[in-house]
A and B are shown apart, each in its own frame.
Chain A
Amino acid sequence: MRLYRLLIPILAIILAILLLSTPGFTAGKQITIKGSTTVLPIAQAAAEVFMDKNPAARISVQGGGSGVGITSLIERTCDIADASRKIKDEEIAKAKARGVIVNEIPIAMDGIAMIVHPSNKLSALTRRQIKDIYTGKVSDWTELGVGKGKIVVLSRDTSSGTYEAFEALALHKEKVRTNALINASNQAIATTVANTPGAIGYVGHGYLSRKIKAVSVDGITCTRENILSGKYPLSRSLYMYTNAKPAGEVKAFIDFVLGREGKQIIEEEGFVGLR
């Protein structure tokens, strides 16, 4: 019994120590960045380096997809929206209705690579074939002449800018087949393709690695040069959107991303810096 009498003061002391030892509650503006998982590695790496150089800065980074970012910008729950697709007209209208003036800042270029498992003999696809696979007309690898088995089609969920860009560039707005496996991010698709011999998926150029194999589209490979020159058919721009022209810390961060160090980070993460 006596032991339990002591328990409460002991717990209170432990609690006090824990509360006091973590940096206390002070005021400080937090820059919130939400959106595209394609842009996520850029945003996060940039945020880290920026915070290293500006200790007073506080940045919070989230993914969720371009749709989440743009929605948050319109609802004023984030300062910067990362997007791997252009904002839609109806979204600009919705923003205006809520008093948000959308300001578009392109930060990099990217190509959507079509990836398969390294053991897959496939090395080239036409846009027609991509569309047939993804809309359900082609379901087996034998139809493409590269081995047996069902094609495990991977796609992104509806909040993904990569998905929207893919839908526009490769599917011409037709619906993805209903039995496509939905993944939450570029990395999820890359990991699943790396682990599933019969899978096919699409990811941003920055997510290519030795564990997956990119195939050429209409004869053109997904490389930096081809993306920059516009030859690669599935190229797109990456954007950061803000509410009106950025000011204060937000401006400082955007300038950083567009500056020399930002470009270096963009290239390191596998994307193509703007010239």
Chain B
Amino acid sequence: MDIRTIRETVYRWIFAVLAFAALVFLIGIILILFKEAWPFFAQYSAVKALLGQSWYPTASPAEFGMLPLIVASVVVTVGAMAVCVPIGVGSALFLHELAGVRLRAVLKPFIEILSGIPSIVFGFFGMLVIAPFLQNLFGIPTGLNAFTASLVLGIMAVPTVSSLADDALSFVPASFHEASLAVGATRWQTLTRVIVPAAGSGISTAIILGMSRAVGETMTVLMVAGGAAVIPRSIFDPVRPMTSTIASEMGEAMTGSPHYHALFAIGLILFLITLSFNIIAEIVSRRFRLKLGLGR
């Protein structure tokens, strides 16, 4: 073996080791979450925690019922999807079918800009502009509630869903489109009955990843959702999703206290939720590509 081959092998190994950094970090996150969340589940029954309705971590005795927090996250995410899916998929369809090459080139950057706006700015805008506006519009007691949070989160997730859906649509072979038009369907019929179903799995992937983004969002809900740890009775009730609970209470939880471990337990649940979304999205996307004959 000459010096050149040795050097080449050394470089290859260096890159190989560095490439596993992502895996190392991911495993690290999982380990830390489990390590810090475990003491909570060892001390409190998981079922009581997940289904309990009272979140009073600083009362004595402390109560760690997480149901209101989980329900809040679910409500806000579902609400966000109700906003994001029509608008995101709709704009993807628009860009794919109705926009000419030039219009597309102009509009896509705008969507990219929307995706680059930091979440704190969205939350800030939501709190100062949207919440008062909705408060006056609907005559509700406060604009800081699940509805506003869903609205702002939905808009935040639109670029994610839109660009992934757009990619999915572009993978559908042009022959589908042409064949459909050739048998006499209108463009709209082609779009809704041929293209979208063909891209169905890809669009589902986009929606699932959008949901993952919405459920994990922190700053926006912290500023806009209202902060009441109670199961909402109406969409206009203030809520407190899991992410904002962690963000607002971590500062006062003494390291190693039950409150501290409880917050990590919430973090673990959050992580597992987004992990499952990602895995489902991965499976769906793989089937989508196989179906369209794009290989692995």
Contact = CB atoms under 8 A, between A and B. Distances in A.
B144 interface: yes
B228 A159 contact: no
A180 B228 contact: yes
Contact of B252 (A64, A94, A180, A198): A64
Interface string A55-66: 000000000110
Contacts of A182: 226-229, 240, 248
Interface in A184-233: 184, 192, 195-196, 198-199
Given A67-B252, A181-B227, A181-B238, A192 B142 contact: yes
Contacts of B229: 178, 182
Given A74-B254, A195-B132, A67 B227 contact: no
B141 A175 contact: no
Contact of A94 (B56, B135, B249, B254): B254
Interface string B221-257: 0000011111000000110100000001101111100
B57 interface: yes
Interface of B: 54, 56-59, 68, 132, 135, 141-142, 144, 226-230, 237-238, 240, 248-249, 251-255
Contacts of B228: 178-182
A175 B229 CA distance: 13
Contacts of B255: 75
A64 B57 CA distance: 16
A100 B159 CA distance: 51
A94 B71 CA distance: 34
Interface string A152-166: 100001110000000
A67 B135 contact: no
B251 A64 contact: yes
Nearest to B253: A71
A96 interface: no
Question: How many interface residues does chain A have, given as a range?
Answer: 20 to 34
B243 to A, nearest CB: 15
Contact of B142 (A74, A75, A158, A199): A199
Contacts of A121: none
Contacts of B141: 149-150, 152, 196, 198-199
Interface of A: 64-65, 67-68, 71, 74-75, 94, 149-150, 152, 157-159, 175, 178-184, 192, 195-196, 198-199
Contacts of B248: 157, 182, 184
Given A149-B141, A196-B135, A159 B59 contact: no
28 contacts: A64-B251, A64-B252, A65-B252, A71-B251, A74-B254, A75-B254, A75-B255, A157-B248, A159-B249, A175-B56, A175-B59, A178-B68, A178-B228, A178-B230, A180-B228, A181-B227, A181-B238, A182-B227, A182-B228, A182-B229, A182-B240, A182-B248, A183-B227, A184-B227, A192-B142, A192-B144, A196-B135, A198-B141
Contacts of A149: 141
